[in-house]
Structure formats: C-alpha cells, structure tokens
C-alpha cells in the first residue's frame, strides 16, 4: 500500500487528521520512565499504545535520536509500530536536503534502514534533492514550503520578480514538475492560514503536513477552512510536545491520549 493510500485510509476509516510527533526529550520524561533501560523506546511505546486509534500518522523527528546516539531506539520504535500497527504511516522528519549520490544515501537511510513511509525534504537545492526520494513510488516526499517558525518568511515570503512569493513558487513547481509519481506532499505551518489557503489553491488535493496547531498556537477554524481539500481531508495536523509532555507525571500516556482526542475533535469540528 502506498503512503498516500495508508494516509487516506486513516483520514477516512479512522476519522482523524492528527499526527503525533515522536520527539523524545528524556529530561521531560517521568522519572520512572527516564530511569528505565531504553527509556526513549519505553516512552514512545507508551505514547503509541495510548494514541494509536486516534492518529493518521506518527512523525519521529530524527534529531532527537541523533543528538543522543539513540538510533537503535528509533529503530526499535519503528519496528514496534510496524509489528503492532502496520496500517499507520510513519513520517520520518529529517528535513534532508542534498543531491545526487548523497541524496540517494539519505533515501536509503529513510526508506531502507528505517523503513519510513515518507520523509521531509528541503527544496533549496531543487529537483536533484527531491528525485532520489520521489523515485520510491510507494513512499511519500514531504517538501518544506511555508514553515511555522518565526523567521520562516525571511526567505520563504520573499517576492519574486514574477510577483509571487517564494513559497508559492515552491508549491507550484512541486505540483507541476516534481509530482510525476503522485507521491509528493508539502509542509505549511498552522501559523500562516492565509499562506495555507494559497498553497491549497495551487496544489489541489496534495497532502499538506501542518505543524503548529497545538503548542505553536495556530487558529483551528482558520487552518481547517484554509487547508482542507475537496474531499474534506488532505491535512496531516501534527502536534509533538503539546501531546508528549501534557503531563510529566506517571499519567503521561493518559494525558497524551486526552490531548490527542482534544486535537482530533477540534480538527473534526471544522471538517
């Protein structure tokens, strides 16, 4: 099953647009988990078991593992997901951006070593960056377009001499030139609903990964109205820390479930 089919099934059959980011910060784990062997995997497993029926995807952010030399616990987490919940797509958030033979190595890392269903990629180096990932036809390539951070507009909102801002140009070439295998998606932050509406207009039904609706404070109604496609889906609404660290006590998994349910209901209210 392709990335897109898996996602579509979760959006529709499971009625959820919510993606939980798996960004482990051991200093925020409850002490009982932090002191266990393989604490990161133990934490992730508890979060996954508590939220799996509520999500359309999980998104591990690879820096959180790399900084701690915890690649093995990332692998354990992905193996666990695949064995227990094989129909949930895994988005590896690594924002890779390199070319040719090096991008091929990154694609091997994401799709072969880790077996991810999709990976985030930075478009600054053009098609050469995208192609080695996009040639895996059953996997997804999620291209940064308009991100949610304060300085996102510093480059992305620059106006080109054609009159359009850079992020719109990225959306346009992603949809027109880079999507021959129909496996592209984009990242557009919830902090920019007007930009999200423009991107949706440009890319049709393409999936859009939307960070920033939780902790970063985007407005749910504006985001949903701007971002839904004609099928009333097409959005992957990600929250990481707002869910993972809703409680730092021993009830962290139950608190994570509660936050995930709240976000799912919030999104579905405007769907």
User: What residue ranges bind a copy of itself (CB under 8 A)?
Assistant: 23, 25, 61, 63-64, 66-69, 71, 95-103, 105-106, 108-109, 112-113, 122-129, 144, 147, 149-156, 158-161, 163, 166, 169-170, 173, 241
Do 187 and 257 contact (CB within 8 A), yes or no? no
Distance separating alpha carbons of residues 199 and 148, to the nearest angstrom: 14
Pick 4 or 178: Cβ nearer a copy of itself:
178
Minimum separation from the CB atom of position 188 to a copy of itself (A): 13
Q: Which residue has the tokens 């880079």?
A: 178
Specify the residue, 183 or 191, whose C-beta has the smaller distance to a copy of itself.
191
Q: Are 54 and 16 in contact (CB under 8 A)?
A: yes
| Min dist. Cβ of residue 268 to a copy of itself (A) | 28
Structure tokens that stand for 191 in this block: 């902090």
The pairs formed by 166-170 with CB atoms below 8 angstroms and a separation of 24 or more are 167/195, 167/199, 168/198, 168/199, 168/202, 170/123, 170/143, 170/144, 170/145
Choice between 13 and 67, CB closer to a copy of itself: 67
Closest CA to 114 of 144, 85, 80: 80
Catalytic residue, candidates 6, 8, 59, 95: 95
Q: Is 90 helix (H, G, I), strand (E, B) or coil?
A: strand
CB of 173 to a copy of itself, least distance (A): 7
Identify which of residues 89 and 123 has a Cβ nearer to a copy of itself in the complex: 123
Burial of 150 (0-12, 13-18, 19+ CB in 10 A): exposed
As measured in angstroms, the least distance from the Cβ of 160 to a copy of itself is 5
The distance of closest approach from Cβ of residue 37 to a copy of itself in the complex, given in angstroms and rounded to an integer, is 19
Q: How many Å apart are CA 235 and CA 68, to the nearest integer?
A: 31
- CA torsion, points 238, 240, 241, 245, in degrees to nearest 10? 120
Active site residue 95: yes
Q: Which is nearer to a copy of itself, 28 or 247 (CB)?
A: 28
Active-site amino acid positions: 95
């Amino acid at each position: 099953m392709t990335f897109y089919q898996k996602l579509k099934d979760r959006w529709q059959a499971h009625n959820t647009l919510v993606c939980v980011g798996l960004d482990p910060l051991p200093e925020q784990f409850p002490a009982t988990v932090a002191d266990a062997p393989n604490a990161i995997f133990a934490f992730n497993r508890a979060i996954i078991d508590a939220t799996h029926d509520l999500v359309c995807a999980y998104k591990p952010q690879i820096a959180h593992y790399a900084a701690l030399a915890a690649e093995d616990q990332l692998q354990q987490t992905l193996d666990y997901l695949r064995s227990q919940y094989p129909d949930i797509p895994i988005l590896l958030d690594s924002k890779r951006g390199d070319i040719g033979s090096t991008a091929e190595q990154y694609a091997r890392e994401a799709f072969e070593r880790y077996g991810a269903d999709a990976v985030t990629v930075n478009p600054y180096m053009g098609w050469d960056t995208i192609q080695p990932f996009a040639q895996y036809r059953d996997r997804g390539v999620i291209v940064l377009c308009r991100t949610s951070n304060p300085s996102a507009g510093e480059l992305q909102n620059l106006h080109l001499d054609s009159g359009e801002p850079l992020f719109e140009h990225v959306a346009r070439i992603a949809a027109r030139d880079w999507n021959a295998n129909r496996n592209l998606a984009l990242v557009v932050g919830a902090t920019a609903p007007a930009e999200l509406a423009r991107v949706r207009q440009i890319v049709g039904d393409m999936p859009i990964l939307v960070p920033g609706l939780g902790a970063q404070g985007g407005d749910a109604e504006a985001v949903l109205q701007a971002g839904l496609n004609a099928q009333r889906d097409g959005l992957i609404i990600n929250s990481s820390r707002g869910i993972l660290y809703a409680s730092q006590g021993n009830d962290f998994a139950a608190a994570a479930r509660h936050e995930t349910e709240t976000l799912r209901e919030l999104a579905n209210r405007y769907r």
